[in-house]
Chain A
């Protein structure tokens, strides 16, 4: 009787695979969407550099993930770190990944898009002053030393998942990893010139809102795909990804009204992201009803940190800590209270008679921030000892786009003189009468 079931489990399911292929592409799109969101929030002279940090996260993370990161995260069930069996994508083929009904290749690609997004997220802490080269080095090392390790703990068979911690789509590696890593990065790189003295304002609110909207769309793949198929868990997470951010938005509107008598667009963009992050760890584990509560209540600590952080000297520029670290932390803990076996077939939380689940969640909520903060801090100190992390004050004044990339986002072309390519950047094109 057992035999047919085992055979069925070892087979690739076409429906599941079709959805996961789409979900992977949707999550990949979240990184340029994040670039758009971040770009809208910085000054115009740093637009391209900010976008480029997100774009650069794609090739860097894909390379490190394929070469070593995936293996360390998902090979074997070592307590702290995975094995080296999948280095260079060895033995990653068409056969289904253990515990899923999708090809191992698709599973690897889906997880790769998570690593990319997380590396892109952390750039929000250091935009407008970090040198591009130093960021590339940091991104490559961080994707292995922090992301792959946390992914192993929470997803790949490490001590958190084997100890019973529930993390559906990455509250530990993606959200707390980027959020608390971002805090460390902001502390090491230091504040922007003029921070706390001059107004350093978003230059395009429309980009920010559009980026947030595209992120929400992509997040249906992110959470909905984390069930690795079209089963109940994925469906539940997909629908909860609709519910939670909607209720975060309502809370945010109310808080904006109470605080400043006006509902702000950039606040709304932030609320969408906070809502999506809140439901990320909890997506497939809590009922739709609790998902709505999570959206409404979970937005409160994030809002508080966003209001209080600019009063400190810490220039964690785009509030990755509040929107990802604090929201991920809240979502992870929330599971410990309201997880429901009737909905998730895995475990109950405190409210349904299983207090131990809250302990497992609290462990993750403590371990992930500490690991992400400490390793990020040390890593950036080491890189900083080898190369300058940030641009000079003068370069910062000119803007990263011109200084680091030799381009402007909003070039008018006025006063620009064409240079003949063969003249090695010296000779000007003679002006010919028309």
Chain B
């Protein structure tokens, strides 16, 4: 059981969702984050004020999956999010100690397995 965290470009979020759906990964959380991953700074000018903006808008996926789904999830994230330019994002896989489904009290693998499968 792993927690897969994918930080991707916001404009690729829809492609990632599509790829995850194809990989039959169903339980997904998504949030907007700001981050910096080595891409070039943008320069913006507001009247006389010029700034370098180091943080870029990103979307962070959090997906808790059972072991057989770890590789398909990573593959889906890569396939959906990759453009080939700096700033495509990162994928982190971390071990999960416990998972509980609030509605039923199911734990661990059952809790991260979507209903109806």
Contacts and interface: CB of A to CB of B under 8 A. Distances in A.
Interface of A: 194, 198, 394, 397-398, 402, 406-408, 411, 414-419, 421, 425, 428
A417 B42 contact: no
Contacts of B42: 402, 406
A417 B41 CA distance: 10
B44 A425 contact: no
B36 A421 contact: no
27 contacts: A194-B14, A198-B14, A394-B83, A397-B12, A398-B11, A402-B42, A402-B44, A406-B45, A408-B44, A411-B44, A411-B46, A414-B34, A414-B55, A415-B36, A415-B54, A416-B44, A416-B51, A416-B53, A416-B54, A417-B52, A418-B51, A419-B43, A419-B50, A419-B51, A419-B52, A425-B50, A428-B52
A4 B55 CA distance: 75
Lowest 10 CB-CB distances: which A-B pairs, in order? A415-B55, A397-B11, A416-B51, A419-B50, A417-B52, A416-B53, A198-B14, A415-B54, A406-B44, A406-B45
Given A407-B45, A408-B44, A421-B48, A415 B53 contact: yes
Q: Considering residues A407, A416, A417, A419, which has the most beta carbons from chain B within 10 angstroms of its beta carbon?
A: A416
Contact of B85 (A394, A406, A425, A428): A394
Given A198-B14, A397-B11, A421-B48, A406 B55 contact: no
Contact of B44 (A398, A407, A428): A407
A410 to B, nearest CB: 11
B9 interface: yes
A181 B35 CA distance: 42
A417 B48 CA distance: 14
B51 A417 contact: yes
A80 B46 CA distance: 46
Chain A interface secondary structure, helix, strand, loop or mixed?
A: mixed
B29 interface: no
Interface residues of B, number: 22
Contacts of B12: 397
A415 B48 CA distance: 18
Contacts of B36: 415
Contacts of B52: 416-417, 419, 428
B34 A415 contact: yes
A433 to B, nearest CB: 21
Contact of B43 (A194, A397, A425): A425
Given A194-B14, A415-B54, A416-B44, 9 more contacts: A198-B14, A394-B85, A402-B42, A406-B43, A406-B44, A414-B55, A417-B41, A418-B49, A425-B43
A418 B43 CA distance: 10
B104 to A, nearest CB: 32
A394 B11 CA distance: 10
Interface string B19-51: 000000000000000101000011111101111
Contacts of B50: 418-419, 421, 425
A10 B44 CA distance: 56
Contacts of A394: 83, 85
A104 B50 CA distance: 45
B28 to A, nearest CB: 17
B26 to A, nearest CB: 20
Contacts of B51: 416-419
A407 B46 contact: yes
Contacts of A416: 44, 51-54
Interface string B92-108: 00000000000000000
A362 B14 CA distance: 47
Contacts of A406: 42-45
Contacts of A415: 34, 36, 53-55
Contacts of A418: 49-51
Nearest to B41: A417
A402 B55 CA distance: 13
Nearest to B53: A416
B72 to A, nearest CB: 23
A398 B42 CA distance: 11
A415 B35 CA distance: 9
Contacts of A425: 43, 50
A125 to B, nearest CB: 22
A402 B42 CA distance: 8
Nearest to B11: A397
A392 to B, nearest CB: 11
B98 to A, nearest CB: 34
Nearest to A198: B14
Nearest to B17: A198
Nearest to B44: A406
A413 to B, nearest CB: 8
Nearest to B56: A415
Contacts of B34: 414-415
A398 B14 CA distance: 15
B12 to A, nearest CB: 8
Contacts of A428: 52
